Amino acid sequence: MVPRRSWVEQIMGLPISVLGRGDGAGSGRAAAAVREVYAELTAIDRMFSPYKADSAVSLLAHGELSWDRVDPLVREVAERCAAAQEMTDGLFDAEAPGGMWDPSGLVKGWSVERAGERLREVVEVDWCLNAGGDVLVICPSGEPFSVGIQNPRDPSSVVTSVRRTGGAVATSGTAARGAHLYDPRTSRPVESRWLSVSVSGPSLEYADVLATAAFVAGDEWPTVLPPHYEGLGVLADGNLFSTPGWAES
């Protein structure tokens, strides 16, 4: 049996797990890379969490920090949010109803992908990094991981799974946190017959943004996905619909 080792920590208000597979999974080098991943994600959460009073996001919202004094990383994320808004024709917007800048919809995927670069340096190990259902897969061996898509009607089960040797899978919906997603076009909670939309593709940052935009789009969600990204939607009646390349993406 191929050696495996797993880690999990609570960051950003959700469990972030790392699974290492391969002869080097139990090595000190692998453990050090995972520690670096968690340290980076903790630092990013400290900077961007809207729930921490001293985060840049909170200080900006309360007028205690101006844009000309923010950390360059905050400015970079703001630029990425603007690009995501343009890419999705406004279906993704970091400005929450009421005018507060909240980049949470981009930060999770972006930060996990960014931190995951530490794992790529340990080339003798395959990695699966899961941040609350948003998954980054790195498989130097070429052997795939099976990524489960959570059943939005029963979080203890999955509706299906996909095999991936690299890239990302991200899911957006209301099952876990209720009606927390807003339609930027109306500033109202999203109402949809879809319970969730999952997106698979090369970048977790983009997959995460596109999953949010696709869920907001409702029945038109497949048209939101650009080339190299595929999707799977779960309807309220339990039926599934996927784009043509979902199984191979």
The ranges assigned to domains in the chain are: 4-248
Beta strands in 139-207 (DSSP E): 145-151, 154-164, 166-173, 182-183, 188-189, 194-201
- Do 184 and 176 touch, CB atoms closer than 8 A? no
- Residue 162, both tokens: 């996909």
The pLDDT of residue 176: 55
Query: Quick one: average pLDDT of 29-46?
Result: 98
* 57: pLDDT strictly greater than 60: yes
Residues 6+ apart with CB under 8 A from 152: 159, 173, 174, 175, 176, 195, 196, 234
Alpha carbons 47 and 215: distance in angstroms, whole number? 27
pLDDT for residue 126 is more than 90: yes
Q: How far apart are CA 51 and CA 71, in angstroms?
A: 18
Element spanning 234, H or E: strand 230-235
Contact 105, 204 (CB under 8 A): no
Query: Which CATH class, in words, describes the domain spanning 4-248?
Result: alpha beta
Q: What is the mean pLDDT of residues 3-13?
A: 97
Tens-digit pLDDT profile for residues 137-184: 999 999 999 999 999 999 889 999 999 999 999 999 876 555 568 888
From the CA atom positions of the chain, what is the Rg in Å? 18
Instruction: Give whole-number Cα distances, 216 to 28, 164, 220, 223, in Å.
Output: 43, 26, 9, 12
The label of the residue with tokens 């999770």 reads 108
The whole-model pTM stands at 0.94
pLDDT band at 247 (very low <50, low <70, confident <90, very high): confident
